[in-house]
Amino acid sequence: MDNFFPEGTRVWLRENGQHFPSTVNSCAEGVVVFRTDYGQVFTYKQSTITHQKVTAMHPRNEEGVDDMASLTELHGGSIMYNLFQRYKRNQIYTSIGSILASVNPYQPIAGLYERAAMERYSRCHLGELPPHIFAIANECYRCLWKRHDNQCVLI
């Protein structure tokens, strides 16, 4: 790669068939050091690094998104990283188009299933509010009631 990333740049590092969220730790004298978010350190000669090995992480992916269909990089690493970023903020529900993914928080989350939340989701269409099981239930109910469409929910 002729034009390399400066120190501190967030990247996806492909190693052993997996994408790791990483940071460029140092880039000096033709040697680049990456540190993954999982504490692993990888060192490469700059001349051996290809676009298949290292790609810049889009800032939107760094923050996490409500709907993973909007991820700019779509691979196993970005999906898991997005779920983890949302999990850390107690946002256990994430959409993948019309599919809802949930990560078990292993603890109660205040307000998640209260009546006020249910009422808020009952007044909105799918996608107008952050992902939630109430949004899926409401959409199924609307389709069943208004369009008389059969519904199936897989849990």
Domain positions in the chain: 10-57, 61-146
Retrieve residue 73's tokens.
């990089």
Tens of pLDDT, residue by residue over 112-127, are 999 999 999 999 999 9
The answer regarding whether domain 10-57 maps to CATH 4.10.640 reads no
What is the C-alpha separation between 107 and 11, in angstroms, rounded? 32
Tens of pLDDT, residue by residue over 9-67, are 999 999 999 999 999 999 999 999 999 999 999 999 999 999 999 999 998 888 889 99
- The pTM score is 0.84
**Residue 136: closest CA among 97, 104, 81:** 97
